[in-house]
Amino acid sequence: MNTSRALTLSRIWLILFSTALILSGTTAIFAREGLRLFSPLFSEGSILQSFWPSMAEWLTLVRHAVEETYDKYPFLAYGYDWLAFGHYIIAIPFIMAIRDTRQIPWVINYGIFACLAVLPFAIVFGAIRDIPLFWRGVDTLFGIGGLVVLFILRRQFTALSSSQA
């Protein structure tokens, strides 16, 4: 693979990864609105409710909890804002590596470590907070998906490094 193509692919993967982090964080800010928008997909009589009733019930419970919390204790939504902020801050090194490819090796290792940490975090704290097992599985998919992207990125960068040597 030529250097120019490997560099372009590495940058594309970095853009995709950082964009996913930013979009994921933004959904936290708009949790209430997102649940309202997508509630027809999981509410009574929906296709999800007939196909996977426990997931539909969980999402309905989460929607009601978020609605009630926002109505009674809106300041708790500030925690969602900080969750979004954390996603944005995590995205910064990946964005910086788009311009300065010398940063890619440590950014990839940082990302791999973070994605691996998602797995026990979701499983352990999900259990402590009584999150259903299937939803903990959904949460672990963020770490697994990130690992896939980062391993692709690592392969691209390895090709880039070997062609420059």
Instruction: Name the residue ranges covered by the structural domains of the chain.
Output: 3-164
Three-class secondary structure of residue 165 per DSSP: coil
Cβ count near 89 (within 10 Å): 11
State the average pLDDT over residues 57-84.
97
Contacts of 91 (CB under 8 A, 6+ apart): 18, 21, 22, 25
pLDDT at 54: 95
pLDDT in tens, 90-145: 999 999 999 887 788 899 999 999 999 999 999 999 999 999 999 999 999 999 99
Rounded distance, CA 156 to CA 97, Å? 14
> Distance (Å, rounded) from C-alpha 163 to C-alpha 165?
6
Residue type, 137: G
Q: Which two tokens stand for residue 58?
A: 């969980």
Asked if the model's pLDDT at residue 1 lies above 70, the reply is no
Global pTM reads: 0.86
Give the span between the Cα atoms of 52 and 55, in whole angstroms: 6
How high is the pLDDT of residue 151?
94
